[in-house]
Amino acid sequence: MRLILLGPPGAGKGTQATFICRRFGIPQISTGDMLRAAVKAGTPLGLEAKKVMDSGALVGDDIIIGLVKERITQPDCANGFLFDGFPRTYIQAYILEGLMLKLHTSLNCLISLSVPEEESVRRLMNRGMTSGRSDDNESVIRNRLKEYNQKTLPVLQFYRDKGIYVEVDGTVGIEAVHRKITEIIRNELGKRLFNVVLFGYPGSGRGSQGKALARKFGLEYVATGAMLEEEIKSATETGKRITALYDEGQLVPDEIVVQLIEKKLATSKDVKGFIFKGFPRTLVQSYILDGLLQKHGSAISQIVEIEVPTLELIRRLDERSKTAGCMPYDTSTSKIVKRLHEHETKTVPVIAKYNQLHGVLKIDGVGTFDEVFARIATGIEEGFKSMR
């Protein structure tokens, strides 16, 4: 969720911003906080901002948007963020729109807390009685409201014209505003694709489970192996390259895999989401997938790892090598061991990365197909509920 929260002084933005970020697990982004953090850290932009601030001038939009770009490209913003009080001007709205396009993403909605001027004055005057803040006096308050009306109301019209503006009555009480905002965000989440990445060592059952889960939840199954096999079956030049790599027990290079996934994402219409099996296998591929999904206005919703003991994996793969379902890397013990080792060294770090960013649902993969399927399905159902 990529949100903007605006409202006049005294509308309760701070309270509602804290609520939204805690409820939906996204970071709160305030230009003031970013400026202070950058100055304290002594970053290049922070030093530039400090020089301007020390001179008594206002920090320019070029510095502000630079800080915004740095902030929203950090890992904790992967699943969204909330702009608190930004953009403040029509020009900043245009600049932010350009930045979103450059990053191949977009805002979901702007939530505007509507409070009449006299109510804002009353609230801030009451706060001034206990806060001791020098700016909580009527003269300063009315000047701040005048500036909001002159500079920020045009921003609301900008997003109203884009069709992503939602107004919330800020006079109905904190809890009622909470409920209304929750309803708005859940409606937005209902439009979002549910994307699952299914991890597990070769032999863990990802393929059969992934197909069954896709059918149950109405997701598009994206299996790099199947797409690569189709290239081989079609005897394309790419397919011949893939065959040679398989014979050597090597992974297929990213440029081949990415082109196939990009095509799949672009041509799949009216789907609820995707379930990825066999990709990403490396840290580089994980960043590629994040970028591909972001380009299509989406993100990873859930990570699932099927856990099976090593000896059981070897037993399964050895049995599969004697069937029609034998994979190219099942044909000898040395190839099986090499493939398991590659997963250990290249894919396990990817799972660790996602566990840190999103959390990974770990599923016991030992048991019958139906038993394992039921465990995974229960976890995905919970994921659907929490997203909605």
Q: Which residues pair with 6 in a beta bridge?
A: 112
Write down the catalytic residue from 50, 69, 122, 127. Answer: 127
Contact 196, 219 (CB under 8 A): yes
206 is catalytic: no
Write down the catalytic residue from 50, 88, 211, 346. Answer: 88
122 is catalytic: no
316 is catalytic: no
Contact 108, 188 (CB under 8 A): yes
Residue owning tokens 């070029």: 62
Write down the catalytic residue from 13, 71, 180, 264. Answer: 13
Write down the catalytic residue from 22, 133, 146, 216. Answer: 133
Give DSSP secondary structure letters for 310-357. HHHHHHHHHHHTTSTT--GGGSSHHHHHHHHHHIIIIIHHHHHHHHHH
- What region does 173 belong to: left with phi over 0, alpha with psi -120 to 50, or beta? left
Per-residue HEC secondary structure of 154-166 comes to: HHHHHHHHHCCEE
192 is catalytic: no
Residue owning tokens 């904790």: 76
Nearest to 385 by CA among 220, 210, 199, 186: 186
Complete edge-to-edge strand list for the sheet that includes strand 109-114: 28-29, 81-84, 2-6, 109-114, 165-169
Which residues, other chains included, contact 8 with Cβ-Cβ below 8 Å and sequence gap of 6+?
A: 113, 115, 117, 120, 145, 148, 149, 152
133 is catalytic: yes
Contact 271, 218 (CB under 8 A): yes
Write down the catalytic residue from 144, 211, 353, 362. Answer: 144
Contact 329, 338 (CB under 8 A): yes
Which of the residues are catalytic?
A: 13, 88, 127, 133, 144
